[in-house]
Amino acid sequence: MKFEEYRQFDAIGLADLVARGEVTAAELLELAIARADAVNPQLNGLIIPLYDMARKQATGPLSGPLAGVPMLVKDLFQEIGGAPNYQGNKARKASDVHAQRDSTLVARWKQGGLVPFGRTNTPEFGAKGITEPDSFGPARNPWNQDHTPGGSSGGSAAMVAAGVVPVAGANDGGGSIRIPAACCGLFGLKPGRGRTPWGPEFTEAMHGIAVNHVLTRSVRDSALLLDIAQGDERGSLFQIAPPTQAYALSAASRPGKLRIGFSTRSPLGTDVDPEAIRAVEKTVALLRDLGHEVEEAEPQMDAKQMCMDWLSVWFGQCAAEVDEVKAITGCGDEGFELDTLAIAAFGRATPAHEYVKCQTRWQQYMIAMDTFLEQYDFWLTPTLAMPPAGIGAMATPPWQQTALKMLLKVGGEKLLMKTGMIEQMAMENFKYMPFTQFANVTGVPAMSVPLHWCDSSPGSTGLPLGSQFVGGHGDEGKLLALAAQLEEAAPWFDKVPM
């Protein structure tokens, strides 16, 4: 098999070839490795090769619905026993921290027959919607290497889009599956809260805001991977209702007539690029052609306050992670990026009662989302408010870096929080991705579907820009059914960048 043929198959298609004896798992792995070696010097998506470990697995007995299919795993919580586990962090990399055992998720992937052969680039602790960590350098978009593949699963997205693998691990705490899917022309489903595992060390991240899954080129791959991964684990804080039927069956079916509300207005009042608006308008037209009822509507909630509440939880999470890494590695502040240290300082400066208030407000947001989804099956928005950003375009400006260094030196983070500068900095980042946090805070599933490639935006022509659908609790199957219908009506699988 040559690479050109390998690329024509999704994970299910490759597994079928292995099952029929037309190719071996070892042969597929070598094709994937060769492709990675060819494109990774330009894209920097694969940062920790695990070739020997994978070769050993590929020669052994394999079973499961995806037996023999090569994959990559994100270097953030999706641990592989015996492999480096750096999380985009300088201190963990300097101390060469390794995972003691497979995470529950990776164990389930392996039980499904997948063969992981490396770990992918991520920003430090997955904190950004771009992938440009100091520890490994920026990952680049295969469609245009001057632009980001998104984040925080940007390394995985770059490798899937470039044809290295049909599927790669990802996770999403504020859009980190959907954002890179939108940037790289991929399908990205964020499951609902509690649908996929985090164990065995812990079973929920950021009170359920963050969830694990994958990035794929085909809808059916994402569906089958969700069947393989989903379900409770030891220590689950609550048990989510199982699907009424296998997700693979949902992706093989078609939805009935749906009622969908859509919006192209930023809920934060920030600008939305004409390309993002065109992406949704094109999706609306396609939905109407398919017989669905679509009208302009949006949930009624204080989106600005919601984003700040999301940020407060992330501040606290980051502070805890920095403390943990310092304890594990013995490194001081030099082991972390400036932005990470600032976020952690803000987390320590947030009083416990304010943290509780912000989490309590989540209930209001969930009620607002549930109220909206009583009237509509889905909410449609741009995934991103603008085309994929240029490499370096979203870096903290030098003047802010100087101010942060001074404030951290004198312990002035509490003063900074009172000035409103944090809110200003947050809105500057959220303007790029004002639509994705809703699904994380409310715990509902959402997906980005690749239906638009930019055609008139200066500097962004040819770059993908996805459309987001937000569903209700337990609607992963219904989302997959719609995604499969859209995939059939406007195929994207054969659109490849390089």
Q: What is the pLDDT of residues 244-274, one digit of tens each?
A: 999 999 999 999 999 999 999 999 999 999 9
The rounded distance, in Å, linking the Cα atoms of 404 and 339 is 8
Instruction: Calculate ∠ Cα 306-309-310, nearest 5°.
Output: 85
Residue 239: burial class (beta carbons within 10 Å; 0-12, 13-18, 19+)? exposed
CA distance linking residue 213 with residue 241, whole number of Å:
18
- The 10s digit of each residue's pLDDT in 461-494 is 999 999 999 999 999 999 999 999 999 999 999 9
**CA dihedral for 44, 48, 54, 55, sign (positive or negative):** positive
What pLDDT does residue 238 have?
Answer: 78
DSSP string, 424-467: HHHHHHHTTSSSSHHHHHHT--EEEE---B-SSSTTTTT-B--E
Residues 274-309 have pLDDT tens digits of 999 999 999 999 999 999 999 999 999 999 999 999
Output the pLDDT for position 404: 84
* Cis amide leading into 152 (omega within 30): yes
Query: What's the mean pLDDT in 321-347?
Result: 95
Which pLDDT belongs to residue 429?
A: 83
> 3-class secondary structure for 294-349?
EEECCCCCCHHHHHHHHHHHHHHHHHHHHHHHHHHHCCCHHHCCHHHHHHHHHHHH
* pLDDT at position 459: 85
- Are the C-beta atoms of residues 72 and 119 closer than 8 Å to each other? yes
Listed residue (102, 28, 489) closest to 287, CA to CA: 489
What per-residue confidence (pLDDT) applies to 399?
86
Specify the pLDDT at position 427: 80
Q: With pLDDT > 90 as the criterion, what percentage of the chain qualifies?
A: 87
Taking residues 192-204, what's their average pLDDT?
Answer: 93
Residue 141 has pLDDT above 90, yes or no: yes
Q: Compute the average pLDDT of residues 405-412.
A: 84
59-77 pLDDT, tens digit each: 989 999 999 999 999 999 9
Query: What is the model's pLDDT at position 457?
Result: 76
Greater confidence, 238 or 232?
232
Judged against a pLDDT cut of 90, whether residue 407 lies above it is answered with no
pLDDT at position 422 is: 73
Coil, helix or strand at residue 375: coil
**Does 416 score more than 90 pLDDT?**
no
How confident is the model over 13-48, as pLDDT tens digits?
999 999 999 999 999 999 999 999 999 999 999 999
The whole-angstrom separation of Cα 233 and Cα 80 is 18
Over the stretch 348-386, which tens digit does the pLDDT of each residue have? Answer: 989 999 999 998 999 999 999 999 999 999 999 999 999
Pick the range with the lowest mean pLDDT from 169-183, 219-233, 393-407.
Answer: 393-407
Residue reference for tokens 């999470």 = 317
Mean pLDDT of 82-91: 98
Both tokens of 129, joined, read 């919607």
Catalytic residues: 74, 152, 176
H helices, E strands: number in the chain: 19, 11
Average pLDDT over residues 318-338: 96
Q: pLDDT averaged over the chain?
A: 95
CA distance 13 to 20: 11
pTM: 0.97
